[in-house]
Amino acid sequence: MNDDRAGKFEQLDHGRSGVLGLGTTLRWFRDPLAVMGRLADRQGPVAGFRIGMFPAVLVTGPEEIHEVLVSRAQEFRRARAVTGTLWPALREGLIISEGEVHRTQRAMVAPLFTARRVPKYVDVMATRMQAHLRRWQAAGEVELLAGVQAMMHDVVAGLLIDEPLDEHVDVVDAATRIFDWEMRAMSRPIVAPLNIPTKRNRDFISDLALVRDWAARMIDARRRHPERHDDIVTALLAQRDRDGAPMSEDRLVDEVINLWAAAHETSADAMFWTAYALSRHPGIARRATDEADRVLDGATPTAEDLQQLPYCLQVFKESMRLYPPSPAFLREAAQETRISDYAIAEGTIVFVAPYVMHRSARQYPDPLTFDPDRFAQESARPWERLSYLPFGAGEHVCIGSALALLEGQIFTALLLSGGTLQRIDGDVGMKLTINLRPKREARAVYTPRRRVSTRQLSGIEVGESR
């Protein structure tokens, strides 16, 4: 520990190990969200516990989280249990890479997702979302999570390769199975290693080969004919590192898969919880609908329109506070260190839990109430930067946060202006995989709203029959 006060730091009580600590471990794998909440209530912002024989720490205070992710980040690496599980699919992409590899890749990818650049993606996102919402209406009933997942696959295809999703159905199906395998592997105490040829593992390896081959073909087509394409993969090919070298072929494939995983999985979950929250808060839905009607008048939103939809953005931000798509980040102490006044041994697993912090009365008044006005500009407070972390913080902060906020704002406005979401039966519950997911299906009916856009009349006199 690089601190001359090391001997003065307190030792955390991690509880019983081995068989005596089995109860906590079993409760953790049954309902980690509940266990995290109880630990924080009993021990405060830095809580010790064990998972089996292994000591672990739960961090839920904003200052303490800042230590782990920002000010002392070099002393905490990504947890090897996570990187080892996710490496076969994600490899050296941004999601799990570390050190110089991560810094080099991030410097090359970041220019594609700046706040100045992402507005050019609005038309692709809005057009494809709107098409899926119309399909929901035509279907009569939709399973909400499956609906937003299909929507986001289409949106991501539009952003990455600017091609119709229907032309890549086999790849989408394979990618979905890969992401499901990862979710399952991360939420189970025991998973068969990939070198054991179970059916699930054989399917995963086959699906991964299909997706990597597809990514390589998409890259090659854009390398040979960049003038034919205007998408993220084409832009990625033009990026150079500080020595002027392009990204290697393997790392290009890694990044395409990483961007697909991050943009699809996390965004779909965020949109599910936003739609779910709106279905349970009709007064808030009406207010956001009024704003969307006034600004959009039934039309597809443009980048300019989004500046006039602040409440729709507030709704999405509040959804991510109460239902953060990434409810916990895992780190591992790379050396003997500390968090606040507590000594942390090398190798200790550290759970950084925005989910718990976002629901803490220490940080938010009436924290379990869904209240988008928390994010009204006039009521914004300095502590929000530390106590609101849907995208993480530090050098691993989500590179697509500006894009994700635009996606959520567009989705909220289109969902409300285009129809009415009805009949989500009861509480769907929550479970932690890698992301925050519902425990149960949420079946809904999305019915059209009868209105005519004056934008769409386009030269026809108001009142004239069509």
Spatial CA neighbour of 397 closest among 119, 90, 152, 73 = 73
Buried b / exposed e along 278-308 (16+ C-beta atoms within 10 A): bbebeebbebbbebbbebbbeebbeeebbee
Lookup result for tokens 């072929």: 249
Contact 341/10 with Cβ under 8 angstroms? Answer: yes
62 token code pair? 């904003």
Residue 398 in marked binding region: yes
Per the CB < 8 A criterion, the answer to whether 156 and 263 are in contact is yes
Cα–Cα dist 113/94, whole Å: 13
Q: What are phi and psi of 142, to 5 degrees?
A: -135, 140
User: What H or E segment, with its residue span, contains residue 85?
Assistant: helix 80-90
Give the type of residue at 105: Q
| Encoded tokens for 317 | 């931000």
**Apex 179 CA angle, 177 and 184, nearest 5:** 90
The 3-state DSSP class for residue 388 equals coil
C-alpha–C-alpha distance, residues 333 and 297, integer Å: 53
Dist. CA 248–CA 50, nearest whole Å = 41
- The answer to whether residues 433 and 186 touch, using CB atoms and an 8 Å cutoff, is yes
DSSP 13-48: -----GGGGHHHHHHHHH-HHHHHHHHHHHH-SEEE
Q: How far apart are CA 422 and CA 425, in angstroms?
A: 9
75: tokens are 């002393």
Binding residues for heme: 398
Binding residues: 398
